[in-house]
Structure 1
Amino acid sequence: MDNRGRERDYRADFPIFRQNRPLIYLDNAATSQRPACVLEAERDFYEKQNANPMRGLYELGLEATDCYENARKRVQRFLHAGKAEEIIFTRNTTEALNLVAYSYGVSHLRPGDEILVSIMEHHSNLLPWQMVAARTGAVLKFLECSPDGRLTQERIRGAFTPRTRLAAVTQVSNVFGRVNPIREITRIAHEQGAVVVVDAAQSAPHIPIDVCGLDVDFLAFSGHKLLAPMGIGVLYGKEELLQAMPPFLTGGEMIERVGRYDAVYAPLPHKFEAGTVNAGGAAALGSAIDYLEQIGFQALREREDSLTALALEHMKEIPGVHVLGSEDAGEHCGILTFTVDEVHPHDVASILDADHIAVRAGHHCAQPLMDYLKVPSAVRASIAFYNTEEEIRAFTESLSQVRRKMGYGE
Structure 2
Amino acid sequence: MNRKYNFNAGPAALPLEVLEQAKQELTEYGGLGMSLMEMSHRSKPVERMMEETQQLLADLLGLPAGYQVLFMGGGASTQFALIPMNFLTEGKVGQYVLSGSFSDKAYQEAATIGETAAIASGKADKWRKLPDIGGLGAEERAAYVHLTTNNTIEGTQFRALPDAGAVPLIADMTSDMLSRKLDWTKLGFMYAGAQKNLGPAGVTVAIVRDDLLKTSADRRIPTILKYATFASNQSLYNTPPVHSIYVMKLVLEWTKRQGGVEEMARRAAERTGLLYETIDASGGFYIGFAERGDRSLMNVTWRMQDEELEQRFVREAELAGFEGLAGHRSVGGLRASAYNAVPVRACEALVDFMRDFQRRNG
Residues in 1 aligned to 2:121 and 2:47: alpha-carbon distance in whole angstroms: 42
Residues in 2 aligned to 1:179 and 1:142: alpha-carbon distance in whole angstroms: 13
Residue 193 (structure 2) pairs with residue 219 (structure 1): no
Report what 1:380 is aligned to.
335
Residue 280 (structure 2) pairs with residue 316 (structure 1): yes
TM-superposed CA distance for 1:340, in Å, is 0.6
Q: Matched residue of 1:283: which SS?
A: helix
Report what 2:12 is aligned to.
31
Residue 254 (structure 2) pairs with residue 291 (structure 1): yes
Q: CA contact under 8 A between 1:352 and 1:399: conserved in structure 2?
A: no
Residues in 2 aligned to 1:96 and 1:34: alpha-carbon distance in whole angstroms: 27
Residues in 2 aligned to 1:75 and 1:396: alpha-carbon distance in whole angstroms: 36
Q: How does 1:226-305 map to 2 (within 5 A)?
A: 226=197, 228-245=199-216, 246=219, 250=223, 268-270=231-233, 274-296=237-259, 297-305=261-269
1:145-192 deviation line (CA, Å, top 9, x unaligned):
88763454xx4426644444322112223223433321xx2x2x225x
Q: Give the number of aligned pairs.
A: 342
Q: Matched residue of 1:224: which SS?
A: coil
Residues in 2 aligned to 1:325 and 1:293: alpha-carbon distance in whole angstroms: 31
Q: Matched residue of 2:336: which SS?
A: strand
Q: 1:100 to 1:79 in 2, by over 3 A?
A: farther
Q: CA contact under 8 A between 1:117 and 1:169: conserved in structure 2?
A: yes
Residues in 2 aligned to 1:247 and 1:62: alpha-carbon distance in whole angstroms: 32
Q: CA contact under 8 A between 1:76 and 1:84: conserved in structure 2?
A: no
Q: Matched residue of 1:325: which SS?
A: coil
Q: TM-score, normalised by structure 1?
A: 0.70
Q: CA contact under 8 A between 2:67 and 2:208: conserved in structure 1?
A: no
Q: Return 5+ residue gaps in structure 1 as ranges.
A: 1-18, 55-60, 255-264, 368-375, 405-409
Report what 1:12 is aligned to.
none
Q: 1:29 to 1:325 in 2, by over 3 A?
A: farther
TM-superposed CA distance for 1:332, in Å, is 3.2
Partner residue of 2:107 out of 129, 138, 151: 129
Which segments of structure 1 move beyond 6 Å, counting only runs of 4 or more?
Answer: none
Report what 2:121 is aligned to.
143
Partner residue of 1:52 out of 32, 36, 40: 40
TM-superposed CA distance for 1:129, in Å, is 3.0
Q: CA contact under 8 A between 2:70 and 2:234: conserved in structure 1?
A: no
Q: TM-score, normalised by structure 2?
A: 0.78
TM-superposed CA distance for 1:383, in Å, is 2.5
Residue identity in the other structure for 2:174? A
TM-superposed CA distance for 1:197, in Å, is 1.3
Residue 151 (structure 2) pairs with residue 173 (structure 1): yes
Quick check: which has more Rg, 1 or 2? 1
Report what 2:175 is aligned to.
202
Q: 1:331 to 1:337 in 2, by over 3 A?
A: closer
Q: Matched residue of 2:113: which SS?
A: helix
Report what 2:355 is aligned to.
397
Partner residue of 1:190 out of 153, 165, 171: 165
Residue identity in the other structure for 1:289? L
Residue identity in the other structure for 1:138? T
Report what 1:117 is aligned to.
97
Q: Matched residue of 2:95: which SS?
A: strand
The percentage of aligned residue pairs carrying the same residue is 12
Q: 1:320 to 1:269 in 2, by over 3 A?
A: farther
Residues in 1 aligned to 2:274 and 2:40: alpha-carbon distance in whole angstroms: 48
TM-superposed CA distance for 1:210, in Å, is 5.2
Please report the RMSD computed on the Cα atoms of aligned residues, expressed in angstroms: 3.5
1:332-361 deviation line (CA, Å, top 9, x unaligned):
314220111122555543343233322343
Report what 1:262 is aligned to.
none
